A = this chain, B = another copy of it.
Amino acid sequence: MSQNRIFTLKGSKSPNKWINILYNIPEALTPLVNPETSEPIPLEMLYKIFAKELVDQEINTKDEFIKIPDEVRDIYSLYRPTPLIRATFLEKALDTPAKIYYKWEGVSPSGSHKPNTAIPQAYYNKKEGILKLTTETGAGQWGSALSFACNQIGIECLVFMVRASYEQKPYRKLMMQTYGGKVIPSPSDQTKIGRELLKDKNNYKGSLGMAISEAVELAMERDDTHYTLGSVLNHVLLHQTIVGEESRLVMEEIGDYPDIVIGCVGGGSNFGGMIIPFIKENLTKGKKTRFIAVEPKACPTLTKGKYAWDYGDTGKLIPPALMYTLGHSFVPPPVHAGGLRYHGASPLLSYMRHKGMVESVGLFQNEVFEKAVLFAKTESLIVAPESAHAVTVAINEALKCKETKEEKTILFNCSGHGHFDMAAYEQFFNGALEDYDYPKENIEEALKDLPKINFPPKK
């Protein structure tokens, strides 16, 4: 009776290159621009805060593949290749003719897909002589991944953690400390802007915008220190293609191929990394796979946002990019999937959405947790609220197959475990979760506040 349902590539066959989709769609590359002049930000400015190699990857349209450095592959081997799991227990419970597969990234050291990019980011920075990386973290997923990666690479890690989270989520902080990361509640007295912010006690609890400002300030100020981002940028999605490529290769081994690929979207890195290898097959081999990005209705960037130039952060520190946005001043309702509460989306992913290569859908959180519990009771994994968005659409698509009697193959990225998110499940059990609908008026208001960019600039 026992069947093969957990599939893993042999370590030595794990991909040795990332897939650079900009080679296939160079027109998807748009710059960050100066909001005053609409001129592209000079690369020299970016080199000040990011590793040169990462900036070069960001704008690379000439290489179809980027070799994964041996040192990075070596650290990947701590948890990669991750398993691809056929959801036989879920399929049975749904009584669907569909085949459901998920890539399980929750086995990584920090519990999500985030280390896939944290490791190369730490690696390239160290190689260029950088001694310390700074970043911000909200709930702590990215900070945990970067702390883990910096420890393995042998470079310092400094995480500014929004003070409200620092106090409410001590376990994530402790995970970062276990990996040797230095965690500072933000705003802090370690930066000029932090000290300034602390003068107003209303700022004491912090925000992601404030934490970004602190992390960037240190990177600007010191030659031996750089800043890192855990999503949104092209090089982040590039590194995450390991997820989709492993999925594609192991499905090839077992003789299957997805009709639909699903993932949740905050900044877009787990979804982007999952779909890019299959997007490439659509573009170059005439495959017809559908791609579905899943968002909370409370923060429906790709579903209800505008394709426009906007700042990357509320504080207007990250220069405008062309992307789907709900407006940088939009504050999403407090849904539990904190990683999906971003006003923008990866410009690369936004381009694909704009061109109709990718669909999107928004969900209420009660449905998401209901399906997450069904997933726990069948497949046995308790997933993060973010990942539960992908679970939900996979279930819904499988139920459609039941109606239409279609034997589709569905694949989704199960991006992380929910061991540090059980409080959200508790609220669901207690019937205390609010279903925040599309906040239409707030978004309309925020969209009035977009920067006026004329790109390409008129000389």
Contact = CB atoms under 8 A, between A and B. Distances in A.
A117 to B, nearest CB: 16
A178 B373 contact: yes
A34 interface: no
Contacts of A76: 2
B151 A73 contact: no
A379 B79 CA distance: 9
A377 B179 contact: yes
A448 interface: no
Interface of A: 1-6, 8, 10-12, 14, 16, 70-71, 73-74, 76-79, 89, 107, 109, 111, 148, 151-152, 170-171, 174-175, 177-180, 373, 376-377, 379-382, 417, 419-420, 422-423, 425-426, 429
A170 B426 contact: yes
Nearest to A426: B174
Contacts of A381: 109
Contact of A8 (B8, B89, B151): B8
Contact of A148 (B71, B177, B380): B380
Nearest to A111: B419
Given A376-B179, A377-B180, A5 B174 contact: no
B425 A178 contact: yes
Nearest to A381: B109
A440 B423 CA distance: 42
B419 A2 contact: no
A425 to B, nearest CB: 5
Given A170-B426, A174-B423, 7 more contacts: A2-B11, A2-B16, A5-B77, A5-B78, A171-B422, A177-B429, A417-B419
Nearest to A379: B78
A380 B175 contact: no
A70 B1 contact: yes
A417 B109 CA distance: 11
B380 A3 contact: no
Given A78-B89, A170-B426, A174-B429, A71 B1 contact: yes
Contacts of A178: 373, 376-377, 382, 422, 425
Given A10-B4, A74-B2, A422 B377 contact: no
Contacts of A419: 111, 171, 417, 419-420
Nearest to A148: B380
B107 A1 contact: no
A293 to B, nearest CB: 26
Contact of A380 (B73, B152, B171): B152
A151 to B, nearest CB: 6
Contacts of A70: 1-2
